[in-house]
Each structure stands twice: as C-alpha cells, then as structure tokens.
Amino acid sequence: MRRRWQDEVAPEDDEGSSEADLNEVVAYNFKRAREMYGWTQDEVADRLAPYLGVRLPQASISGIERGYRGRRRELDAQELLAFACCFDVPLVWFFIPPPGDNRPLRNSGEYVQGLYTLLLGREDQLGLLYERFRELGYAEPDAVDETLEKMSGGHHTGRTMADYRTRRKELLIALLDQYADEFDRAAEEMGSLVDRLRQLGLRAFVSASMNDLDFSLPAERRGTVHLDTDEEIEAMREARLAEEHAAVKKDQTTGSTEGK
C-alpha cells in the first residue's frame, strides 16, 4: 500500500479544470477533517496507520490533500473506511460538497453541489432504500415504539426507518442552511438586473452600463452624437428611452386593435 501511494498517482489535472472528480471531493474533506482536529500531517499518518496496516509518509498525506483541484489520487472504498475511522466521522462526511464548487461531476450528469442527492437518494428512490433497510431488520415505527420513545425521553428503542428519514432530513436542512442565503442573494441580484432591463430595454441598459450613447442609437446615428456634459448625456438617454417606450406602446395598441 505504501508503494501504491507513492507510485500510483493519477495524471495531473489542470487546476482550472471545468470538471470535478469525486476523489477531489474526498481530498477536500480529508484536509478539512485534519484541520478540524488541528492535527499535523505526520500526526494523521500515525493515526491512520492502524486502519491502513501501514504508516504512510507525510508526503503521501500531503498528496491526498493536494488532490482537490490539483494532482488527483485515486482512492478506494477500504481507504475511505480507514479515513472515517481515523477522524471519527461518518463516511458521508467525505462526500459533502465543498462550498462554492459548482463544477459538473465527471461522467455523471450531476454537479458537485448536487452530490447530496446521490448520497441521500431522490424521493423516488427512497422505496428502494427502505426495502434494503427492512432486510436489515428496520421497520416502520408502530404505536408501541412511539409510546416507549416518549417514555424514554425521546430516545429510540429500536431500529426503524424513521431513523434514516430523520437523519436525511437533518442533513438536507443543514445543506439548505448553508446554501440558501447565497442562492437568495444571487436571485435578488438577478431579479434587479431583469427589472432594470425591463425598464430600460436592452439597448438603453447597455448604453447606460458602458456610458456610451452609440449602444442605444440606431445604426445611422452612431458616432455622430457628441455630448459634453452629464446632463446632456442623461437627456439624450431619456429621450431615446421615451422613443422606445412609445414604440412598444404603439405596437401593443396595434396588436390589441387587430385582436378585436
């Protein structure tokens, strides 16, 4: 295993790659777990050794962490189990999307930020999960389970499907809390932009943004208008905007008349 970690390194990825690899997500969360505990890379190598059966050199630990947006390493399922045991975190920890990474996941049709859907399952896939849980002895809670749970102060008395649903919901809420504000801000900015476009029209909007009247003038007048003051420029913009609004209103009136 030591030799594999030292020698079997995947081809170096371009840091500006437009696609993400799942190994990168694991690498990001590996480093995050180490920093959460405040361990050095050498300390992680010592702590990982009992689970891997070999002590990796510090350079190999560094290589794992550089796998995010850098030199990618292929990781296998047994190594993920070792990471989870070493850092005392659930396996799902290593698949939580890095904040702000919106790249598509290679060869999957999914995006990094949508990785939780693959982890927790879509609503239409839950039936398949519950069927597997039943094979392990999980069942829907009945009235006795619910009564015993209340009597025990909210502690579960057995393994039920509700456990998974509860944990799934908690994780989805945590992800929503993490990304909702960012999405709302982006939507608000986009809404303001659309409102501005609707008010001015595309030509006047670009003209105002570029501070250049040629963008709002018809082709025959471009390059012929020269204004010296901000007041003159603003007056010209308003006149052009009024012309565009009048034309739109005329078109609407004509269309309404023809419809009748």
53-66 burial code (b ≥16 CB/10 A, e <16): eeebeeebbebbbe
Average pLDDT, the chain: 74
Tokens of 255: 């269309």
- Pick from 49-58, 88-97, 122-131, 173-182: least confident: 173-182
Single out the residue of 12, 24, 9 nearest to residue 105, CA to CA: 24
- How far is the CA of 64 from the CAs of 10, 74, 113, 218, in angstroms? 11, 9, 21, 59
Which pLDDT score, from 0 to 100, does residue 168 have?
65
Taking only the tens place, the pLDDT of each residue in 159-170 is 555 666 666 676
Q: Of 47, 140, 151, 132, which is closest to residue 89 (Cα–Cα)?
A: 47
Res 81 pLDDT > 80 = yes
Of 209 and 150, more confident: 209
CA distance 73 to 135: 35
Structure tokens at 88: 């005392």
Alpha-helical (H) ranges within the chain are 2-7, 22-37, 41-52, 58-65, 77-87, 115-120, 126-135, 143-151, 161-200, 202-210, 230-259
